[in-house]
Structure 1
Amino acid sequence: MGGRGESVRSKSPAEFFAENQIIAGFDNPGKSLYTSIRELVENSLDAAESLCVLPDIELTITELSEAQFNAQRGVKTAGNRGDLELFGSSTKKGKGSKSKEGGSVEAQDDGVEEGADLSQSLSQSQASAGGGRGGKAGKAAGSRSQVMYYRVTCKDNGCGMPHQAIPEMLGRVLSGSKYGVRQTRGKFGLGAKMALIWAKKSTGLPIEVRSAHTKDASEPPRSVSECVLDIDIHRNEPQVQRHTKQANPDGWRGTEITVTVGGNWTSYRSKVVSYFQQLAVITPYADLKLKFNSEGSSADGSTPLSPGLGVTESSTSSSARNLEVHYSRRSDQIPPLPSEVKHHPSSVDNLLIQQLLVRTKSKSLVSFLQRDLQGVTSGVAERVAAELGDWAEDTLPQDIATNNKRVNAITQVLRDVTLFKSPDGSCLSPAGEYNLRLGIQKEVAPDLVATHTMKRAAAHEGHSFLVEAGVSIGGSKAKEGITVYRFANRIPLLFEQGSDVTTRVANKKIKWASYKIDQKKDRIGVFVSIVSTKIPFKGTSKEYIGEDVEPLHEAVKKCLQACATQLRHHLMRREQQRDAQNRKKNLTKYIPDVSRSLFGVLNRVYTRDKAKVPNSASSPRKRGRDAGEADHWLPSKRTVLSAIASGSFTKKIMEERLTSAAERQDEEAAALQQAAEGGEKEKRKEDLVIRPLRADPLEQGDPAAAGGEKEDSPFLQEIHHPAFSMFLLRQAVVVGVGGVGG
């Protein structure tokens, strides 16, 4: 009891997040709808990847009218109310009146930072046909600002949820299976639980779950569980309304979750589409489907005119706002599952050390350091124990946990020691260069793309991290300048882009001009994916990574520089090819004039020599001089002049031969350039030993097997390769960098 009569009370985790929903990304109705969608989709991806199956995810958003929404929750509409005077002027205006408050919410949502779409053309087409504000559909949406309720259904082919665990997994905040030292998609460990809390606040409707669980993808589930549940915010407990199990004759596997939430699709449509586009880049092995049904339209996107007769019309204002996008699978390579590892000594604190000491099964501190922490060898563990004092060798770990001073001493020593091994990178699961490149090529369709991944995992504050990067040039759908796409643990980050380390490095720390790239005119796409056991987010919303994390800053910079270096080689080769084409074009341009001039000179020479034929009337000295000149020109001149005389060498033939010579010169120059580059790039540091696939049949004592080969042949057999074929000699031949030796 306080001095003024205040009473002390505690809050459950569900109650805390319900009151502080902005922490989990539920800032406003539009952002809340987007975050709910993201949580459901990411849970589906995790469920499919846990079975190592290619994800198939289908998300359907159905806009509910006021009448449909009130019918679901059993609330009377304005026309069915008894005491109309009780509700004042709001009832008299009727359902068709505009809501200023709703309009202000929409305007507020429009003020958030716009995310960069991968496809401008796709966004424009969706703006005209999928709920944009332009045109009749946009005006209709603006006049229905009071319609802000949506039924969101997410269906996947993942592992499903066990029947008895469904209420706990969805109805209790901060309970789940993803806690531990490993890479996870979630930021808080809330998942669909926060979507359920938002549904509780905005609509009051429960969540509907249909799931078929299996631990092996080859074994279809025998039953399907159906559950309808709510959450007790104050007790942080699930409230199950219906929980049944049925047979599964079709062998369906996966989970289907339906939740009805408040939101604003009109203002956050572009965010949802951009999220799916970028998700298709980082997970090209997934098949993603997004469908939006506007108010009054059926599941197939048409609007019923006569519900009793089933007559539909597909060209109404409601159906014009419908949206259906399919991101097909491009890759079949699923990243390996991250393994759970132990804590690294440099990442511990007093509370963590105390918890580990209480839970350990070790009987000594030295054994505890080796078994419960990673990167600690036996020698280092003994030296750490000796540094702490005599009590470290004689006291049980559980007894040490009760002494705060000793716990603090252990924590401080572990942080200061530098002899521990680097954190293990097996707890990470990057997308991989193969998937990243395919995703960029599929969604951006650039002219050039380069990717790079760190060779080994680095660490920040004891947590492993790995950076993957890709840089693209060109593409009809890209815009001029630098467009940054950020991913954290394979999740697209769409908000607060300007403060992120990737944006700062790409715009300020990379000298693009030195890589033959124009930062302002070229269409540059920068893709950076960071995976870690603990992403160093900044801010409560966890939407960006600060550039003050030096190891991460340097890793992003080096990866982007490596990508830019690859692109520079391609751009330089392209520039050389363009110069060669221009040189060939210039040579070809002057070939007709040169041919005409040369052929004219040859004609004059032929006419002059014909007039200089020696005769008997000439003096002996002149006849000798003319004969000497004729002998001097005989090897080359006579052939050309005779060809001109016979008509076999004409001006047209000269043009053709000059053109062929110009082309041959360009080909030879290109071949020399390629050979020079290949020689510098592909130098071998070790000798290459080539051995035959089988020994000489005669040497093995098998004359019958050697019947197909001639004994006098110096070759053993032919070996084929995708790039060449060769014959091996009967004697061993060693081919090295320095030459050939027997």
Structure 2
Amino acid sequence: MALIWSKMSTGLPIDIYSGMKGQNYLSFCRLDIDIHKNIPHVHVHEKRDNNDKWNGAEIQVTIEGNWTTYRSKIIQYMRQMAVITPYAQFLFRYVSATVDKNVTIRFARRTDVMPPVPIETNYHPSAVDLLLIKRLIAETSKQNLIQFLQHEFVNISKSHADRLIGEMGPDFTPKMAVKSLSSQQIVRIHQLFRQAKFDDPSGDCLSPAGEYNLRLGIIKELHPDMVATYEGSPHVFEGHPFIVEAGISLGGKDVKQGINVFRFANRIPLLFEQGADVITRTAMKRINWNSYKINQTQDKIGVFVSIVSTKIPFKGTGKEYIGDDITEIATSVKAAIQQCCVQLKSKIVRKQQARERQERKRNLTKYIPDASRAIYEVLKDIVQLRSPKKPRYGDVYEEILDRVSSREITETTLREKLAQHVEQVDIEMALEYATQSGITQEARETTYIRALEGVQNFYDFHSPVCVIRLFQ
């Protein structure tokens, strides 16, 4: 798309640099495209010195447009690209007639983890139309019909192909030449593909960003207070597999109050015609945010949904939104968002409980001076009124009164003991909650971070849930 826009707006070619690890040269290619024939025109293709041992791929594109009108959309597009592809670095330059109006924006790379490479696959029988079947017949190297069905489509075994040919009618045989099929026979094959049941295609031919990259991208660009991500299993719509990835963030910079929807199709941001999109409608109307302890109007909610498929069912000529009338996609989008909300709910509950513990501890600590003073005054009054010859209290209490009389117990002593008790209660409550959440007091796994030198001196720092060992 960038190459097409560059060709249409400026007519300038694009420059591509690529290099492999360990190579002492770079591959440089300058090319443009014939829009009508959809073929590339290579102007320069050469090797260049790589003294810095740089590796990766770099694409430079020059595009002309109305910067004043679409500045916000361009920056928004680049930022969303940085979210969905944190393994790439983007450098955007706007060159103005006046130097002081030049703009340079850099979106840094956060990780080297790339999405899985998709595996090439054949067409699914239920996903082909009549024209595609005719093209496959014209291009196939197979001689007979049964070989054509087996090797040009997925999920058709030899026995399955035999059954299909038997259902096509008496005019079809397994050994008949596929090139000799008439138009009526091809129509019959297409009809049978629509009627028959086939196993769903696998998702190996798709390349989703992945939960790891999506989470990194959201954290890198938005810096949210909380984030949750989820990648669904492959599903099928009209023979085309698709995967829905979702991420929900709370808080962060440059995020408005309420629901902020970020849509992606095959890792490409969708900026326009948002209102009719299945992602927007699902996030706005089909999710009960309050049940997940999220305030739909007050919280800063970021909803990131990426749909990856061999065929994105766009609506409209602009291909800027996915219709809300496809049940399979709408159901998968809702399920992915709900999975993220479930994760966030547990985090929100833990945060609220921690806040309540801190508030309770703060309140108790606030009253410690007054409580210790009152207790000490009562104890002093009892000491003055008691008769040493006729003990009225038990041995333990008499011992306490004796210690008060000898000033072993003072107001300061009581204040320190109460503070220790409040701290101990706070630790015990934290341990109890951690145990209920599945975190035991015993270490699940012993993990050491060793110093670079071979020094074995270390210190252990104990906390309620772990032990940190620092080597000198």
- What is the TM-score of this pair, normalised by structure 2? 0.85
Take 1:637 and 1:500, find their aligned partners in 2: how far apart are those partners?
A: 74
Following TM superposition, by how much is the alpha carbon of 1:547 offset from its aligned partner in structure 2, in angstroms? 1.1
Alignment partner, residue 561 of structure 1 = 338
Question: Are 1:208 and 1:257, in contact at CA under 8 Å, matched by a contact in 2?
Answer: no
Distance 1:238 1:341, change over 3 A: closer
Residue 409 (1) aligns with residue 188 (2): yes
Alignment-mate amino acid for residue 613 of structure 1:
P
Secondary structure of residue in 1 paired with 2:408: coil
1:226/1:569 Cα in 2 relative to 1: closer, same or farther (>3 Å)? Answer: closer
- The runs of 5 or more residues in structure 2 that have no matched partner are 446-465
Residue type of the alignment partner of 2:89: D
| Paired residues of 1:207 and 1:230 also in contact (CA < 8 A) | no
Counterparts of 1:639 and 1:573, CA distance in 2: 44
Q: CA deviation at 1:594?
A: 2.2
Counterpart contact for 1:333–1:435, Cα < 8 Å = yes
Cα offsets for 1:215-236 (capped at 9, x unmatched): x665455875667x796x8x85
3-state SS in 2 of match to 1:391: coil
Cα pair distance change 1:379/1:339, threshold 3 Å: same
- 1:264 pairs with 2:86: no
**Equivalent runs, 1:672-687 vs 2, <5 Å:** 672-678=432-438
Max radius of gyration: which structure?
1
| One-letter amino acid matched to 1:411 | H
Residue aligning to 1:570? 347
1:292 to 94, 108, 133: 94
Letter in 1 for 2:346: H
Please list the CA deviations of residues 650-689 of structure 1 after superposition, one character each: whole Å capped at 9, or x if unmatched. Answer: 1121122112212211221221121012179xxxxxxx9x
8 Å Cα contact 1:360/1:397 also seen in 2? no
Q: Given the superposition, is the C-alpha separation of residues 260 and 346 from structure 1 closer, same or farther in structure 2, using an over 3 Å criterion?
A: closer
Shift of 1:279: 0.7
Matched, 1:508 2:268: no
Q: For residue 279 of structure 1, what is the aligned residue in structure 2? A: 81
Displacement after TM superposition at 1:271 (Å): 1.3
Q: Does structure 1 residue 464 correspond to structure 2 residue 244?
A: no
Within the candidate set 225, 228, 237, 1:450 is matched to 228
User: For 1:466, what is the secondary structure of its paired residue?
Assistant: strand
Distance 1:352 1:230 in 2: 25
* Correspondence for 2:269: 492
Task: Give the 3-state SS of the residue equivalent to 1:382 in structure 2.
Answer: helix
Residue in 1 that maps onto 2:146? 366
User: In the alignment, residue 208 of structure 2 is paired with which amino acid?
Assistant: P
SS in 2 for 1:499: coil
Q: Quote the residue 1:640 is aligned against.
A: 400
| Structure-2 residue corresponding to 1:207 | 12
Q: Across the two proteins, how many residue pairs are aligned to each other?
A: 443
- Name the SS of the counterpart of 1:449 in structure 2: strand
Seen in structure 2, the aligned counterparts of structure 1 residues 399 and 514 have a Cα distance that, compared at 3 Å, is same
Structure 1 597/194 Cα, relative in aligned 2: closer, same or farther at 3 Å?
Answer: closer
Aligned partner letter, 2:190: T
Alpha-carbon distance change, 669 to 552 in structure 1, aligned in 2, over 3 angstroms: same
User: How many Å separate the matches in 1 of 2:256 and 2:321?
Assistant: 23
Q: Secondary structure at the match of 1:502?
A: helix
SS at match of 2:325: coil
Quick one: which of 94, 100, 114 aligns to 1:320?
100
Instruction: Give distance in 2, aligned partners of 1:661 and 1:211.
Output: 67
Q: Equivalences for 1:703-722 in 2 at 5 Å? A: none
- In 1, are the aligned partners of 2:225 and 2:250 still within 8 Å (CA)? yes
Change in CA separation of 1:608 and 1:582 when aligned onto 2, cut-off 3 Å: same
Q: Assess if the C-alpha contact under 8 Å between 2:87 and 2:111 holds in 1.
A: yes
Contact 1:223 1:245 in 2 (8 A): yes
Distance 1:552 1:583, change over 3 A: same
Within the candidate set 120, 136, 145, 1:356 is matched to 136
Q: Is the 8 A contact 1:285 1:330 kept in 2?
A: yes
In structure 2, give the amino acid aligned to 1:428. L
- 2:136–2:152 CA contact under 8 A, matched in 1: yes
What's 1:652 paired with?
412
Give the C-alpha shift of residue 398 in structure 1: 2.3
2:422 paired with 1:662 = yes
- Cα separation, 2, equivalents of 1:444 and 1:378: 52
**Deviations 1:283-317, CA, capped at 9 Å, x for gaps:** 1111111111210xxxxxxxxxxxxxxxxxxxxxx
Cα root mean square deviation, aligned = 3.0
d(CA) in 2 for partners of 1:334, 1:468: 16
Shift in Å, 1:521: 0.2
Q: CA deviation at 1:244?
A: 6.0
- Specify which of 318, 335, 345 is matched with residue 125 of structure 2: 345
- SS for the counterpart of 2:121 is coil
Give the 3 Å change call, closer, same or farther, for CA 585–259 of structure 1 in structure 2.
Answer: closer
Structure with the larger RCO, 1 or 2 (CA within 8 Å, 6+ apart): 1
Q: Where does residue 300 of structure 1 map in the other structure?
A: none
SS at match of 1:392: coil
Q: Judging changes above 3 Å, is the alpha-carbon distance between structure 1 residues 597 and 210 closer, same or farther for their aligned structure 2 residues?
A: closer
Aligned AA for 1:422? D
Which residue type is aligned with residue 409 of structure 1?
R
**Structure 1 residues 260, 387: CA separation in 2 closer, same or farther (over 3 Å shift)?**
closer
The Cα of 1:267 is off from its aligned counterpart by 0.7
How many Å separate the matches in 2 of 1:245 and 1:522? 52
Q: Distance in 1 between matches of 2:239 and 2:347?
A: 38
Instruction: Evaluate the alpha carbon distance shift between residue 193 and residue 366 of structure 1 in structure 2; reply closer, same or farther with a 3 A threshold.
Output: same
Residues 245, 557 of structure 1: CA spacing in aligned structure 2 closer, same or farther, 3 A cutoff? closer
* Aligned AA (2:437): E
Matched, 1:248 2:55: no
Q: Could you tell me whether the CA contact under 8 Å between 1:212 and 1:221 is conserved in 2?
A: no
Q: 1:413 to 1:258 in 2, by over 3 A?
A: closer
1:432 aligned onto 2:210: yes
Check 1:255–1:589 CA distance in 2 against 1; reply closer, same or farther (3 A cut): closer
Contact 1:357-1:400 at 8 Å conserved across structures: no
2:460 is aligned to none
Partner SS, residue 472 of structure 1 = strand
TM, length-normalised to structure 1: 0.56
Contact 1:358–1:397 (8 Å) recurs in 2: no
Structure 2 vs 1, CA of residues 369 and 273 (structure 1 numbering), >3 Å: closer, same or farther? Answer: same
Q: Deviations over 1:565-606 (max 9, x none)?
A: 000001111111111122222222322332222222211221
CA contact (8 A) 1:336 1:429 kept: yes
How much identity, in percent, do the aligned residues show? 39
CA distance in 2, matches of 1:237, 1:480: 44
Instruction: Describe the shift of the 1:592–1:487 C-alpha distance in structure 2 as closer, same or farther (beyond 3 A).
Output: same
Given that 1:341 and 1:424 are in contact with CA atoms closer than 8 Å, whether structure 2 keeps it comes out as no
